[in-house]
Structure 1
């Protein structure tokens, strides 16, 4: 269930209503009145949840799923769990996204409310600059400074002795003590998720949070996306430069450093003490082991073992990269000499 501090629950809704909004066909009409209260991925879905199957590689392991309803393609119907309400559609992920709108909606700032919402809780010693907006039920710890034009969304919790820079935007987030978010940084906006639908590409709902632990620094104009379901997390004392992007569901360890223009794709897991040079990029669903170093402009497409230094495009261990670079240099010189002769 999405965190109620950040998402309103609208359901329950009947399976028939979900089928209608998703443009799907209900395989067994007798299950149309079953009530669904929430959404969840296949592995976590319970009897009151609707999920989807879009990856055919997971179809054969679907028997253990306990979801009350599942959107899936007609060719995968035979793999549906017993007793599940099956919603047949060529575009299960897009149909699920449409159904989600009937069950959950993000909390937004109340229209017409004061800039500092009356339900917000500010401890003694919080310093607010002109133009600050703080949403309903937000909580801010003592000694925290919030600079001009910053926006703190509904339900956000910010710890003590933090610094929120000018025009920073914080939503869907739980933030520890002594955290610094510099000017123009954005925490908690929707991560990038899209799927093909009957009328083109549609956005997928992002129902998770961001958790920043104590001592984190986020540079100017950097972004950390909230999770799709689970949290995007940044560990204690990690330091992030300006113009860095951390995508949804990333787990970033403690005492990491990320130089400018680094990009971490969704669901990347980064161990403690990892260093990223400027403009480093990491593909999605990878693991970077503790103590590893990723060189500037490196493009990582494979898991990186703990303690290793990788660089290049595609990234590989630095000793291998140096040998290959030296070989290419020698080959180029040799070819040049032959051409001159």
Structure 2
């Protein structure tokens, strides 16, 4: 029997009980409430005098955060919302003078502190499940470290190697010759080590595939987003160097090298034998022609079409990609016509 509206109990929105996660878009629950001072002690930075005992139950966007929440203030555009909010604030030092004292956690690397807080929540959520689910297909001859995490539906073929602490997400496929380094992540549905796009013509003019036997080497701490494809090299491996990060839908052609610490945004594509230097930044949907070299620390604007070498540290955009300032001037001239 349903209670009548008159007798039905209503939930007190200010109840001391922890709210449901995601309630009204309010953010992410901590594993257990912590004081603001404890967070600063764990991750660095300083809290305003007298607010170290503020209890934090969750991390929330600044627009919806309220009492008991921690909201990051990381950009000037959110100062107005911060002034209206009753939440505790994780604040970049440059923005701290704009916020009255009394609820600030000021951190010299506030983005990093937020990452550490969220990492603790993520680790607490992980289920103590078996490392290799039953629905995974691992062929005899594949070498999977016992500490690796393999998602349901993943396929690991003979000759592939998965290192300690690596994570292979659901439905990813590792071909023979794919080597996955320590703590690397291969995103859901990604294909690593399929033979690259190598063809030649026979004397009769028929297209003939060139076997791609070099494999792929994914080094330590690389993260490959979902639905990426990294082709096997011809004679040696296609390489994603240590700490590089690839967003979703990135394609890396055979024999390419993506440098250490590079960041590649979604839908970028690299033709065969491209060399990307360490620390390069590549915008979404940028395309790089075969055998092109991108220097260390270079930046490619989104949708750039790169058909020639880019010097270290250069910033380019457009098609064909040129110095970014030159490209913007050319666009401005066209728009004035």
Q: What is the TM-score normalised by the length of structure 1?
A: 0.59
CA contact (8 A) 1:126 1:140 kept: no
Q: Distance in 1 between matches of 2:262 and 2:195?
A: 23
2:298 corresponds in structure 1 to 292
1:126–1:144 contact (8 Å) kept in structure 2: no
Question: SS state of the match for residue 187, structure 1?
Answer: strand
Secondary structure of the 1:284 match is coil
In the other structure, the counterpart of 1:140 is 144
TM superposition shift of 1:199: 5.8
The 3 A distance-change label for structure 1 pair 126 and 153 is farther
Q: Summarize deviations over 1:249-287 as a string: whole Å, max 9, x none.
A: 001111111111100000001100011111000000010
Indicate whether 1:162 and 2:166 are aligned. Answer: yes
Q: CA deviation at 1:142?
A: 3.2
Shift in Å, 1:309: 0.6
Change in CA separation of 1:190 and 1:126 when aligned onto 2, cut-off 3 Å: farther
Q: Which residue of 1 aligns with 2:6?
A: none
Deviates more, 1:199-208 or 1:213-222: 199-208
Equivalent residue, structure 2, for 1:314: 320
Q: Secondary structure, in 3 states, of the residue corresponding to 1:267?
A: coil
Residue 312 of structure 2 aligns to a residue in which SS? coil
Q: CA distance change for structure 1 residues 299 and 166 in 2, over 3 Å: closer, same or farther?
A: same
Task: Tell me which of 277, 281, 291 is aligned to 1:275.
Answer: 281
Structure 1 residues 126 and 211: CA distance shift in structure 2, 3 A = farther
- Higher relative CO (Cα under 8 Å, sequence separation at least 6) belongs to 1
In the other structure, the counterpart of 2:269 is 263
Counterpart-to-counterpart distance in 2, 1:126 and 1:199: 53
Work out the CA distance in 2 between the residues paired with 1:318 and 1:126.
50
1:328 partner SS: helix
1:301 maps to 2:336:
no
State how far apart, in whole Å, the 1-side matches of 2:130 and 2:172 are.
16
Matches within 5 A, 1:105-144: 127-144=131-148
Give 1:133 shift: 1.3
Mind listing any 5+ residue stretches in structure 2 that lack a counterpart?
1-128
How far did 1:209 drift?
A: 1.2
- Which residue of the other structure, out of 186, 193, 197, is the alignment partner of 2:191? 186
| Residue 242 in structure 1 maps to residue 248 in structure 2 | yes
Offset at residue 200 of structure 1 (A): 2.2
Structure 1 residue 182 displacement after superposition: 1.2
| Other-structure match for 2:38 | none
Q: Is the 8 A contact 1:126 1:142 kept in 2?
A: no
Q: Which residue of 1 aligns with 2:81?
A: none
Which one has a bigger Cα radius of gyration? Answer: 2
2 CA distance for matches of 1:268 and 1:188?
16
* Misfit runs of 4+, over 6 Å: none
Q: 1:200 to 1:310 in 2, by over 3 A?
A: same
Per-residue deviation, 1:236: 0.8
Instruction: Name the Cα RMSD after superposition.
Output: 1.3
Match of 2:331 in 1: 325
Question: Is the contact between residue 219 and residue 240 of structure 1 (CA under 8 Å) also seen in structure 2?
Answer: yes
- In the alignment, is the contact (CA less than 8 A) between 1:149 and 1:168 conserved in 2? yes
**Aligned pairs (5 A) from 1:10-89:** none
> Distance between the aligned counterparts of 1:150 and 1:317, measured in 2?
42
TM-score, normalising length: structure 2: 0.60
Within 2, Cα distance between the matches of 1:242 and 1:203? 28
Q: Number of aligned pairs?
A: 207
* Aligned 8 A contact 1:126 1:141 in 2: no
Instruction: Give the whole-Å Cα distance in 2 for the aligned partners of 1:179 and 1:249.
Output: 20
